[in-house]
Amino acid sequence: MEEEVRELMELSGFDYNESQLLDTDMDYERPNVETIKCVVVGDNAVGKTRLICARACNATLTQYQLLATHVPTVWAIDQYRVCQEVLERSRDVVDDVSVSLRLWDTFGDHHKDRRFAYGRSDVVVLCFSIANPNSLQHVQTMWYPEIKHFCPRAPVILVGCQLDLRYADLEAVNRARRPLARPIRPQEILPPESGREVAKELGIPYYETSVVAQCGIKEVFDNAIRSALISRRHLQFWKSHLRSVRKPLPQAPFLPPRPPPPVIIVPDPPVQSEDDPGHLLEEASCADVVLVVQERTRIFAHRIYLSTASSKFCDLFLMEDGDPPSQARDPLLRASSFDACEGSGETEGAGMRTSASDGTLGREGDRDLSGWSRAFESIRSGVMEEPPGYSARRVTVVKMDSSVRPGPFRAVLKYLYTGRLDEREPELMEVAHIAELLEVFDLRMMVANILNREAFMNQEITRAFHVRRSNRIKECLTKGIFSDVTFVLDDGSITAHKPLLISGCDWMSAMFGGPFLESSTTEVVLPYTSRGSMRAVLEYLYTGQFTAGPDLDPLDLIILANRLCLPHLVALTEKHTVSVMTDASMNNKDIDGEAVMLLEAAQFHGAHQLAAWCLHHISTNYNRVCRKFPREIKLVAPENQQTMEAQRWPPVWYLKEEDHFQRAEREREKEMALHQKRQPKRRWLFWNSSGAGSPASSSSAVG
Ligand SMILES: Nc1nc2c(ncn2[C@@H]2O[C@H](COP(=O)(O)OP(=O)(O)OP(=O)(O)O)[C@@H](O)[C@H]2O)c(=O)[nH]1
Ligand SMILES: [Mg+2]
């Protein structure tokens, strides 16, 4: 027996200590302390033992601890004989009456004999689970008749246990339950009315409890004590201290906690291969530069990549465009040296000529650069019709210095595109030589690191390269430098760079990378797109970052990002929108209208996380939002309406309960007022009839 007690109490979260065991019953009858035996009955696994432990041992467990264990009670146990703390916690004062509450646990099996537990009980707490309709049915068919059979005079209290399951996430609960436990279905959850109806039919009070939410436990036992004391008052009418005991009080409804808003999860950004955008190098489809090495070798490249990685290339292309070199350490010197070279060549633009029909470039109009830089021989404009099937387009032809050899130059270009240098590069000294010519000092340092067997230090250089490139690319975007396409939008236009678009977005790659008209045109019309959202898309594609400009409309951006198949950007925009709305709401700004407006638009354009957040906002402020936007809410899709109804907070059952409680309270107050009205009359009669004693002593005797 002792072992059973120990096991049960330990599994119920009670810290069982050998020293707490008492050999003898420590309790004793004290004058004016009412000892109340309270038997707890009900079906198996409805939560009797947990409820008793919560009252008797103050055992509190989380839902998941609770779910993982159920120890069926096998014998009625009087724990007060064995445990000092339980005995002490049994003492209570209810309506000025000192009581010692003796709780008796029982097993739920219908066929077992419980007469030992029922014997001489003062009150019976009859439990069912609000997640098990059968257990409520058995209250009427089995438990109440049994109680009336064994203790016909004991008052009974009906208790709906496990109230937290009414608002819990049942899927999560079922996942956490023991493997063989029957899953709880949402349609099985009973509303408070069901329990109350049964209680009304039986003429007994009704309460609800949850050990997880720690609610209703005190109410159940305090009111069980009241019922027992009132019953005792009838039999032991001479006990004057029982006069102040009130009838069981109505239970205030438990407001479940407001469900937390869904968290917006941003997936990992699309993986870029280490080689990115190296694969574009030598790709003719969107090349705007042809680098001629040692007269024979042509390498296709891109101004935007070359210029953002090398100041020398940047200066070269800026000067070709007629701008002074922005990044030159000595701009005047550079410009003048370029001018000096120009004198020996053709005038600006005169070097352009159509390519031959086989795609080769013309040779006229070369401008000598040998005096300006040791890396280049000449530059000129030309027209290219490669790859086959593509329309002719303008390119810049740069002839490299004769000391530059194709193999090591390709390694240098690879660095300019990716920030990396292959350790196994066979001609490292040649690479260093070209790096020197192009003034790419980081690359020279990388070569030195490899030669010194310190290649691991090159990772840091690569990191710095990307930071620098990102900043330069941003600058090119802001200033429109080296752009090769203009997007015509609803509220203006914005320039961009095809190579960057192709390497960042499959949709753009399909448009600009294939033999379509767009690959050769310099203007693309994008209807239903604003400048603010296009700028955010370009920044994202260029730098991988999300930046919200002042003119950004998040929904516009979501629509565009969804159209361009950029789920990562959609998620970033959702996160941004939710954080802006949360901040606004915390600063007492009204976001209800925005949430209603965004809900279905977000769903339609693939922003399902934002839609779920809006749905949560509307559901948890349901009454207010419905009052403000009745027509809009009516027009919401039925699936959304259903979700709102299901997730409504405060829930409908709570509002009904609150209403019921208020009515019950009003009735109780009326009853009390009526009772108080009657009191003085009786006193008056008493005075008149007896004609003895002082008014003071009389009132204290009756009151
Ligand atoms: N969510 C929730 N689950 C509860 C609560 N109380 C009990 N339970 C669950 O119900 C199971 C049974 O609880 P017990 O208190 O052992 O049930 P019992 O009525 O004593 O069962 P028997 O002794 O077999 O008659 C526990 O394992 C818990 O999973 C509650 O307040 N909330
Ligand atoms: Mg039990």
- Which amino acid does the sequence have at 200? K
Phi, psi at residue 208, to the nearest 5°? -130, 145
Q: Give the whole-angstrom CA distance, residue 84 versus residue 434.
A: 89
**366 lies in the same domain as 451:** yes
Ligand 1 atom with the shortest distance to the CA of 73: 23
Q: Are residues 548 and 563 in the same domain?
A: no
**Range with the lowest mean pLDDT among 101-105, 444-448, 684-688?**
684-688
Quick check: CB of 229 below 6 Å from ligand 1?
Answer: no
Gap from CA of 6 to ligand 2 centroid (Å): 14
Q: Is the CB of 257 under 6 A from ligand 1?
A: no
> Residues 27, 36: contact at Cβ < 8 Å?
no
Domain boundary among 494, 523, 552: 552
Q: Give the residue with greater pLDDT, 694 vs 682.
A: 682
| 574 shares a domain with 506 | no
Distances (CA, A) of 54 to 12, 50, 76, 88, 650: 9, 6, 17, 14, 26
Whether 76 and 138 map to the same domain: the answer is: yes
Query: What does the pLDDT look like over 207-227, one tens digit per residue?
Result: 999 999 999 999 999 999 999
What total of structural domains would you count in the chain?
4
Q: Cα(645) to centroid of ligand 1, in Å?
A: 29
Measured in degrees and rounded to the nearest 5, phi and psi for residue 595 equal -65, -40
Rounded to the nearest 10°, the torsion over CA 81, 83, 86, 92 is 60
Whether 563 and 539 map to the same domain: the answer is no
Please give the sequence-ordered ranges of beta strands (E in DSSP) within 531-633, or none if there are none.
Answer: none
Measured between alpha carbons, how far is residue 677 from residues 69, 239, 667, 670, 683 in Å?
54, 24, 15, 11, 11
- pLDDT classification of 253: cutoffs 50, 70, 90: very high
Q: Does 329 reside within a domain?
A: yes
Tell me the three state secondary structure of residue 383: strand
Tell whether the model's pLDDT for residue 64 goes beyond 80: no
Q: Same domain for 469 and 498?
A: no
Residue 690 inside a domain? The answer is no
Residues ≥6 apart with Cβ < 8 Å to 418: 274, 275, 276, 277, 278
Provide the pLDDT for residue 71. Answer: 63
Q: What pLDDT, in 10s, does the model give residues 502-529?
A: 988 999 988 887 777 777 788 999 999 9
Q: What does the block give as tokens for 151? A: 């203790």
- Which ligand 1 atom sits closest to the C-alpha of 165? 1
Do 48 and 25 reside in the same domain of the chain? yes
pTM for this predicted structure: 0.75
Ligand 1 and 107: CB distance under 6 A = yes
The amino acid that residue 213 corresponds to is: A
Is there a contact between 99 and 33 (Cβ–Cβ < 8 Å)? yes
481: its two tokens: 């430098």
| 108 Cα–ligand 2 center, Å | 7
Closest ligand 1 atom to 50 CA: 15
Same domain, 548 and 562: no
Nearest to 648 by CA among 672, 693, 615: 615
Residues 6+ apart with CB under 8 A from 396: 288, 289, 290, 303, 317, 320, 379, 380, 381, 382
Q: Predicted confidence band at 10 (pLDDT cuts at 50, 70, 90)?
A: very low
Task: Give the mean model confidence (pLDDT) for residues 64-70.
Answer: 64
CATH number of the domain that 34 lies in? 3.40.50.300
Indicate which residue's Cα is closest to atom 9 of ligand 1.
Answer: 47
pLDDT at 501: 93
Which helix (H) or strand (E) is 231 found in, with range? Answer: helix 217-235
Residue 286 near residue 300, CB atoms below 8 Å: no
Letter for the amino acid at 645?
A: E
Cα 53 to ligand 2 centroid, rounded to whole Å: 10
Same domain, residue pair 541 and 564: no
CB 534 near ligand 1, within 6 Å = no
On the 0-12 / 13-18 / 19+ scale of CB atoms within 10 A, 528 is exposed
72 lines ligand 1 (CB under 6 A): yes
For 310, the 3-state DSSP assignment is coil
pLDDT in tens, 288-300: 999 999 988 999 9
Q: How far is residue 450's CA from residue 431's CA, in Å, rounded to a whole number?
A: 12
Residues 216 and 70 in one domain: yes
For residue 380, report the phi and psi dihedrals to the nearest 5 degrees.
Answer: -160, 170
Is residue 679 in some structural domain?
A: no
Residues 571 and 650 in one domain: yes
Classify residue 397: in a domain, yes or no: yes
Q: How sure is the predictor about 549, in pLDDT bands with cuts at 50, 70 and 90? A: confident
Under a CB-based contact definition with an 8 Å cutoff, are residues 400 and 374 in contact? no
Mean pLDDT of 139-164: 97
Q: Which ligand is nearest to the CA of 12?
A: 1
Final residue before a domain boundary, out of 436, 451, 474: 474
**If you measure from the C-alpha of residue 257 to the centroid of ligand 1, how many angstroms do you get, rounded to a whole number?**
21
Q: Is residue 285 located within the same domain as residue 153? A: no
Name 102's Cβ contacts closer than 8 Å, sequence gap at least 6: 35, 36, 37, 38, 78, 80, 90
Q: Domain for residue 678, yes or no?
A: no
- Ligand 1 pocket: which of 162, 184, 219 to mutate (most atoms <8 Å of CB)? 162
Q: Domain with 500 in it: what CATH number?
A: 3.30.710.10
Residue 342's nearest CA partner among 363, 362, 323, 368 is 368
- CA torsion 339-343-346-348 (nearest 10°) is 30
**513 lies in some domain:** yes
Q: State the pLDDT confidence band at 77, using cuts at 50, 70 and 90.
A: low
404-429 residue pLDDT tens: 999 999 999 999 999 999 999 999 99
| Integer Cα distance of 667 and 129 in angstroms | 29
Name the residue among 68, 56, 91 with its Cα closest to residue 217. Answer: 56
- Residue 162: give the domain boundaries: 2-242
How confident is the model at residue 304, as a pLDDT?
94
What is the predicted pLDDT for the residue at 500?
92
Residue 693 in any domain: the answer is no
Give the pairing type, strands 393-400 and 376-384.
antiparallel
Would you say residue 251 lies in a domain? no
